[in-house]
Amino acid sequence: MSDLKEGDLAPAIEASDENGELITLAEYRGKKVVLYFYPKDNTPGCTAEACDLRDNYSQFIEQGFEIIGVSADSEKSHQKFKNKYGLPFRLISDADKKVLQD
């Protein structure tokens, strides 16, 4: 598969978020979504990126965007990462790297 570019339609995604709840992109159909992929929770670059999105979250919401993060970390790791930095958006756990490879 070719790399996604800004504005491309994302592939169908069905995975668990940090709370073990199923998340699909179909539930966001017709909405603007910032789907961002990152290597690992609690690394300097990934933490800076997540905190920047957190700090600007209200502006994204005001403009009609929702943010969803995706990495291969476990749900438990995502819970800790989200709680530690007060992230207001969902994080998809893709431990089997199915979403990352699509």
For 22-78, what is each residue's pLDDT tens digit? 999 889 888 899 989 999 999 999 999 999 999 999 999 999 999 999 999 999 999
- Structural domain includes residue 28: yes
- Structural domain includes residue 7: no
User: Do the beta carbons of residue 99 and residue 4 sit within 8 Å?
Assistant: no
- Structural domain includes residue 48: yes
Distance between CA atoms of 102 and 61, rounded to whole angstroms? 27
CB atoms within 10 A of CB 60: 17
- Structural domain includes residue 6: no
- Structure-derived torsion over alpha carbons of residues 70, 51, 79, 98, reported in degrees to the nearest 10: 10
| 3-class state of residue 78 by DSSP | helix
Judge whether residue 1 has pLDDT over 50.
no
Grade residue 96 by pLDDT with cuts at 50, 70 and 90. Answer: confident
Distance between CA atoms of 102 and 88, rounded to whole angstroms? 26
Judge whether residue 2 has pLDDT over 80.
no
The pTM for the full model equals 0.87
Catalytic machinery residues:
46
Q: Which of 15, 34, 35 is nearest to 95 (CA)?
A: 15
- Structural domain includes residue 63: yes
pLDDT at 102: 59
**How far is CA 44 from its chain centroid?**
17
Q: How many domains does the chain have?
A: 1
Grade residue 13 by pLDDT with cuts at 50, 70 and 90. Answer: confident
Domain enclosing residue 77, as ranges: 14-101
- Structural domain includes residue 73: yes
Q: What's the CATH number where 28 sits?
A: 3.40.30.10
